[in-house]
Amino acid sequence: MSATVVRVPGSKSIMARALFLAAAADGVTTLRHPLRSDDTEAFADGLRALGIDVDLASDDAWVVTGHPDGPPLPAARAYTRDAGTASRFLPALAAVGHGEYAFDASAQMRRRPMDPLIGALRALGVEIREDGEPGRLPFTVVGRGLKGGTLTLDASISSQFLTALLLAGPLAADGLAITVTGMVSVPYVEMTLAMMRQFGVTVERDGDTFRVPAAPYGPRDYDVEPDASSASYVLAAAAVTGRTVTVPGLGTGSLQGDVRFADVLRRMGCDVHQDATSTTVTGPASLTGVTVNMRDISDTMPTLAAIAPFATGPVRIEDVYNTRVKECDRLAACEENLRRLGVTVATGRDWIEIQPGTPTGAEIACFADHRIAMSFSITGLRTPGITLDDPQCVKKTFPTFHTMLADLRAQWGMA
């Protein structure tokens, strides 16, 4: 059977880093194949609120004029919507500047932890005024230029705090030495280091310590990869329908750890071909069960949980505690929705185990979480009658998701 080629939109995580790096570079950066979504617009709007010029008029290229000394405005208010990346990275950029920068976000984002970043910036001498619940947004960063130095950071709840400090490190007068404990989502940190290198700065890593030199970022013409987490839904669609899908632009050469979701599908019996720049998956006659540690690729946990009932044996996903502090408590959300579909499921502090079953149609509670909406839409390829209580929440990272899925259904002759 011939492969269906599906192009997925640009990477949210690469966009967030590229926007930060471009904003801090000495010159003008062009981002090619940008992702336009709620998260990336939140990032761009946040930069603009700080006085940094981001021209997102074109869908082919966003143009950013950098300010190596930090935000040019002496005072600003930034609203970072639901975006973890914008909410965690932008305050670190503000700390480099000279002024008072107030940050706030949506109710969902206000619930998510910010304390490791607040603590780290304070340890570096930055004044932070907590304007709401301690350790959460909203808060105000009072920037007086960042001197730098050494600090210890707990990275066990999110890697985004470490990424924020790494990205800002070269703008500190003395650079930064950061020692981390308990790191999750390691591939995102590797992405950060690789992209800092692409913009001209090399971080030295010595075990758990990252040494960031004081050094200038250079502007670039930057091509954004397709999003590997978004691709997981497309590959999962192949896995549950027995079809063949090729995602171009994403393979072993990707900066994104989530390309390894294809390895999980391979272990479940899919035929997987991955070269440097593309991934092709063919679903088997029946998927097998698997036990998998998803600490490194936890954004794809809901994708796997949602197709798990179709496997012939149990699917157990381990070491994903921090999925409880994402857009929603994702372990609880997956458990709730699998139960709604009549599937037997159990969860613990950091794991979920799903039994084989035949899901029956039900309304999915999205909890305003794009990944819950997209994951259970893929279950819907095999189970009639699945509806979403909040289909629009996919706009966070993949605004064209439902059109893409409708196109796939049409090409595959599904109603």
Ligand X SMILES: C=C(OP(=O)(O)O)C(=O)O
Please give the residues from 56 up to 85 whose contact with ligand S3P meets the rule CB under 6 A. Answer: 84-85
Closer of 21 and 343 to ligand S3P (Cβ):
21
Question: Shortest approach of ligand S3P to residue 200 CB, angstroms?
Answer: 20
Let me know: does 176 contact 169? Beta carbons within 8 Å.
yes
- 330 in a known ligand binding site: yes
User: Among ligand S3P, ligand X, none, what does residue 371 contact (CB within 5–8 Å per kind)?
Assistant: ligand X
Burial 122-135 (b: 16+ CB within 10 A, else e): eebebebeeeeeee
> In the set 104, 296, 299, 335, which binds ligand X (CB under 6 A)?
299
The 7-36 site mask, x for binding ligand S3P (CB under 6 A), equals ------x--x--------------------
113: helix, coil or strand? coil
Let me know: does 268 contact 240? Beta carbons within 8 Å.
no
User: Among ligand X, ligand S3P, none, what does residue 83 contact (CB within 5–8 Å per kind)?
Assistant: ligand X
Q: In whole angstroms, how far apart are CA 393 and each of 103, 135, 233, 370, 407?
A: 22, 26, 15, 5, 19
User: Among ligand X, ligand S3P, none, what does residue 397 contact (CB within 5–8 Å per kind)?
Assistant: ligand X
Q: Compute φ and ψ for 157, nearest 5 degrees.
A: -105, -30
Please give the residues from 275 up to 314 whose contact with ligand S3P meets the rule CB under 6 A. Answer: 298-299
Let me know: does 95 contact 121? Beta carbons within 8 Å.
yes
> In the set 383, 397, 398, 408, which binds ligand X (CB under 6 A)?
397
- 395 in a known ligand binding site: no
Question: Shortest approach of ligand S3P to residue 30 CB, angstroms?
Answer: 21
The 315-334 site mask, x for binding ligand S3P (CB under 6 A), equals -------x------------
The 308-327 site mask, x for binding ligand X (CB under 6 A), equals ------------------x-
Which helix (H) or strand (E) element contains residue 331? Answer: helix 330-340
Strand pairing class (315-318; 290-293) = parallel
Residues 278 and 63: their CA atoms lie apart, in Å, by: 27
Question: Shortest approach of ligand S3P to residue 7 CB, angstroms?
Answer: 21
Closer of 16 and 306 to ligand S3P (Cβ):
16
Burial 318-357 (b: 16+ CB within 10 A, else e): bbbbbbbebbbbbbebbbbbbebbebebebeebbbbbbbb
159 binds ligand X (CB under 6 A): no
Report the 10 Å Cβ neighbour count for 98.
14
Token pair 């309304």 in the structure block, residue: 363
Q: Pick the catalytic residue from 299, 319, 329, 389.
A: 299
* Strand residues in 232-382 grouped as ranges (E): 244-248, 271-275, 278-282, 290-293, 315-318, 345-347, 352-354, 363-364
Residues 262 and 300: their CA atoms lie apart, in Å, by: 10
Stretch that binds ligand S3P, among 63-71, 97-105, 184-192, 313-321 (CB under 6 A): 184-192
- 84 in a known ligand binding site: yes
Q: In whole angstroms, how far apart are CA 32 and each of 22, 64, 222, 310, 314?
A: 13, 12, 6, 38, 42
**Which has the closest alpha carbon to 322: 209, 226, 186?**
186
185 binds ligand S3P (CB under 6 A): yes
- 299 in a known ligand binding site: yes
> In the set 163, 274, 300, 383, which binds ligand S3P (CB under 6 A)?
163
Task: Name every residue whose Cβ is closer than 8 Å to that of residue 272 and which is 6 or more positions away in sequence.
Answer: 262, 263, 265, 266, 279, 280, 281, 282
User: Among ligand S3P, ligand X, none, what does residue 184 contact (CB within 5–8 Å per kind)?
Assistant: ligand S3P
Residues 381 and 16: their CA atoms lie apart, in Å, by: 32
Q: Is 389 a catalytic residue?
A: no
Closer of 84 and 143 to ligand X (Cβ):
84
Stretch that binds ligand S3P, among 64-72, 181-189, 279-287, 334-342 (CB under 6 A): 181-189
Task: Write out the DSSP string of 118-170.
Answer: HHHHHHTT-EEEE-SSTTSS-EEEEEE----EEEEEE-SS-SHHHHHHHHHGG
Question: Shortest approach of ligand S3P to residue 16 CB, angstroms?
Answer: 6
Please give the residues from 56 up to 115 whose contact with ligand X meets the rule CB under 6 A. Answer: 83-85
353 binds ligand X (CB under 6 A): no
Closer of 232 and 241 to ligand X (Cβ):
232
Residues taking part in catalysis: 299
Q: Which residues here bind ligand X, judged by CB under 6 A?
A: 83-85, 299, 326, 371, 397
Binding residues for 3-phosphoshikimate: 12-13, 17, 158-160, 299, 322, 326
Residue list for the binding site: 12-13, 17, 84, 112, 158-160, 299, 322, 326, 330, 371, 396
